[in-house]
Structure 1
């Protein structure tokens, strides 16, 4: 693991203060839900008020603030305020079950829990759980959009919390900052939890800063950039993909409680968005929306896809609108931004995630940790000063993932002779058919080209002759037959890769921000 610097500096954590001093009148944040626009000077004053609130609640250096909320300005206030006070912001997914949240909160041991009103019932369930061990004050954020839950039960649950606005002091003058070093934690960001309760990843001030450097230099971000932030802020994408790098430059981030394709298209046009990063499903839904053809996308310098493979048809839809769309790659444990496309990259490299960014090393490793030559598939390992520090209170998993200075991603990949990296899928999803390794992601890419397929997941099932074969689980037109699909794949996939079974779902289960829950699909349709 990389060592940053244990010496406290005044600038560490002083994000809003420093930016307000440099560009006080620049708009740093737009709340698309309420229409409010905040300059960096206003954001720093809000952060000072929030820092005073945290200290009045007894939240000091190293203490955790847990949040259950959709994207809203108060989360930005808490990020800036914990930077000033040395606290740690721990946003939690409101999509998790109460039982999972209890375990996570017991682990985090927050000194303060902040709950947005629509999740008051969920919070009440958490607080009433028999296994709850944590004990802290709870503050409620009022809903400020018409779609929020205003039921009697939600109001009753909210009444168990103290209102955020009642505790927020009027004094917005500068606060005394804590002594904070680059090695101190600033964010706890949890993993997806596909193999159990999500792990909390400890992200230091240094990790956040280096990820920002890598993103700015790799993607050519500018102070005049504007982006709609479509990742949830309980996800590393909500902070480290574009939000913090753009704050670093004095650029503009647009938030909303809920994002749907039409609104993102509208905001690209109305706000003159210059950069956009989203998961493939969101990019596909935007391209398939009725407003797609009439939306002015001319201000977009580039778009990035992350969080899974982007289908060729989606990329071509964006290219047809003269938007430079390419794929990115990242993970909570090593920052979401690790690769970039070189200037003038050829479209035949579009299936890749590019080459390592300025301050990232990447290698393809075999089972013994040795580096593989170009063309061979192995586990992708990354090394960068933007890597996370560890998993919180989980030494065994920390050693497995971070133990030798390389972050083990769990993803299979290969490099070509030009250094471009291609993701072949999760290591745990690979199966063996007739002695041949099959990587579902590569199979899914070809199946997704069929016009009757909207989305697809391939899972292994037992077979007496070949050991395992693939089953294609498809969301799309159920008139598709296995024979029709097999004919379509002739010449596109080797015979051993073609699925021997076909099943349909009305809608794919999701485990995160528009991210397919592969484990749920495998549990229902696959076999070990």
Structure 2
């Protein structure tokens, strides 16, 4: 175990010492802004509240809420007390919440008032303290009710090691119970370091946070990295594309990260043509492939939009685009960040040649420690065996198996070819759905598309295109359109339509739901 020290947990106090008067957090729903000194004072009060509930030294705090300032209070308070912050999706049904709460086994549950009944149903028969966040009068203090101590002076912090758990974040699985990923103090610090150094974050940077704070995107894409460097995070209860466009101009936002669907919704909003985007230094897309048309719409507005790649189990920020990158590399996620190792391997775990497709594996001090109370699943994803280049402790973090297929080009750029389980073989040829989807999405009648493999008597498996768009599109019309774009074996041989793509997590397309609804035979 690494040496202990309170520096790991007490981020808010360190930043309050360095830049006390700088804006740290804004609640766009109420219009309030807190400096780093004020944010640390809030964290001290919240830490005392957690102490009254016995939250310390690894005790979990489960939270079910939309994006609110109290979640930031709880994160920093957990750091001070040695507690573990475990946000759960407020979109889950009571039985799903019950399974996750059973896994987390929290010492305290904090729930926003609209979700209190669901949490009560999920906790039926479980004896645990529950603290409700009111929705009325959000701007009034104390936010946690009359129980919150008045004393906001510095608290005695609990010494933490970089190896100690800091956050439990559940994966976005759409079937079965999501796994709780253990993010340590060290992994959160190193992901922030990677982000600051690879993306060039600055103390004067600000961002509107469009990811939900039960997701790694809500914390580790920009929130914790910006708190690390002294930047400004703007949150709101719910996402609205027009509001985000307004927030960019109102707060001179410099950076923006969102999933492709959100970036597309912003370009389709009525306010898009007149929105002031001049302050944006760059934007990044993550959570799936971003269509060329969406990227071009942002480029046309002078915004440097590129694609990123990450996962709850590692990072999530792993790659970056080099300075002055060419738009010819737009399909790439860039090159590994400063403290990230990446490799592509075959089914035997051997590296593949450049240009060949294999599974992407990642390694670095930003990787998670495993899954909570899931040893077999942890063993499948996390390899913690010593490697040839040991750290000073004699053991280096092992490789994390991402489950994603990737390749590199001659310049060392990485390209994601989709989930390993989504690839299918048609007539002996490998078909990678993202490549087909990019080509189909160029058709003017297609707004969004997911390609899945379905059974076929002749070829074994063929592609089926599930389209959100103009339902007058025919399979023959699509086949003609793709003639000069894709090899014939990659052309979809079946077509289906949806009014709206199902989503999971932060507006991320739920491929499993699409497969469940439209899989089977081609005809």
- What stretches of structure 1 of length at least 5 have no aligned partner? 147-162
Q: What's the counterpart of residue 159 of structure 1?
A: none
Aligned counterpart, 1:139: 131
Cα distance per residue 1:196-242 (max 9 Å; x no partner): 21000000000000000000000000000010010111000111000
* Equivalent of 1:372 in 338, 347, 352: 352
Q: Deviations over 1:444-479 (max 9, x none)?
A: 111111111111111111111100111101111111
Distance 1:260 1:164 in 2: 26
Match for residue 280 of structure 1 among 260, 263, 272 = 260
Aligned partners of 1:395 and 1:127: how far apart in 2?
A: 25
- Alignment-derived partner of residue 186 in structure 2: 206
What's 1:504 paired with?
497
CA distance in 1 between partners of 2:108 and 2:68 (Å): 18
Q: Are 1:301 and 2:281 an aligned pair?
A: yes
Instruction: Describe how 1:148-163 pairs up with structure 2 within 5 A.
Output: none
- Give the alignment partner of residue 37 of structure 1, picking from 33, 36, 41: 33
**2-structure distance, mates of 1:282, 1:276:** 11
Aligned to 2:392: none
Residue in structure 2 matched with residue 246 of structure 1 by the alignment = 226
- Cα distance in 1 for partners of 2:166, 2:148 equals 22
Measure the CA separation in 2 of the matches of 1:182 and 1:460: 43
Match of 2:393 in 1: none
Q: CA deviation at 1:166?
A: 2.2
Structure 1 runs (4+) greater than 2 angstroms displaced: none
- Structure 2 distance, partners of 1:516, 1:464, is 29
- Equivalenced residues, count: 504
1:495 to 476, 488, 497: 488
SS of the residue 1:429 aligns to: coil
Pick which of 188-197 and 28-37 moved more: 188-197
Q: Could you say what secondary structure the match of 1:165 adopts? A: coil
Task: Give the TM-score normalised by structure 1.
Answer: 0.94
| TM-score (ref. length: structure 2) | 0.95
Distance 1:429 1:97 in 2: 27
Among 78, 81, 94, the alignment partner of 1:82 is: 78
Aligned twin of 1:152: none
Equivalent residues of 1:64, 1:87 under 8 A apart: yes
- CA-to-aligned-CA distance 1:489-519 (integer Å, 9 cap, x gap): 1110110110011000111111111011111
Provide the rounded CA distance (Å) in 2 between the counterparts of 1:85 and 1:517. Answer: 37
| CA drift at 1:272 | 0.5
Mapping of 1:393-412 within 5 angstroms? 393-403=373-383, 404=385, 405-412=398-405
Q: Is the CA contact 1:209–1:386 (under 8 Å) kept in the aligned structure 2? A: yes
Quote the RMSD (CA, aligned, Å).
1.2
C-alpha deviation, 1:120, in angstroms: 1.8
| Aligned with 1:461 (options 451, 454, 461) | 454
What's the counterpart of residue 87 of structure 2?
Answer: 91
- Counterpart pick for 1:24 among 20, 23, 34: 20
By how many angstroms is 1:527 displaced? Answer: 2.5
Q: Which has the higher contact order (CA 8 A, sep 6+)?
A: 1
Mapping 1:47-196, distance limit 5 Å: 47-128=43-124, 134-144=126-136, 164-196=144-176
1:135 deviation in Å?
Answer: 2.5
Q: How does 1:439-450 map to 2 (within 5 A)?
A: 439-450=432-443
Unaligned runs of 5+ in 2: 386-397
Q: Distance in 2 between matches of 1:210 and 1:324?
A: 25
CA offset at residue 96 of structure 1? 1.4
**Distance (Å, rounded) in 1 between the aligned partners of 2:211 and 2:321:** 22
Q: Distance in 2 between matches of 1:193 and 1:460?
A: 20
TM superposition shift of 1:249: 1.1
Query: Following superposition of structure 1 onto structure 2, how do residues 9-20 of structure 1 map, counting pairs within 5 Å?
Result: 9-20=5-16
Deviation at 1:145, TM superposition (A): 8.0
Q: Matched residue of 1:293: which SS?
A: helix
Cα distance between partner residues in 2 of 1:367 and 1:440: 20
Match of 1:416 among 409, 418, 426: 409
CA separation of 1:493 and 1:47: change in aligned 2, threshold 3 A: same
Partners of 1:389 and 1:127 in 2: how far apart? 28
Partner SS, residue 334 of structure 1: coil
State how far apart, in whole Å, the 2-side matches of 1:10 and 1:179 are.
Answer: 5
Shift of 1:195: 3.9
Q: Would the aligned equivalents of 1:64 and 1:90 in 2 still touch at CA under 8 Å?
A: yes
1:251-295 Cα shifts (integer Å, max 9, x gaps): 100000011110000000111100000000000000111100101
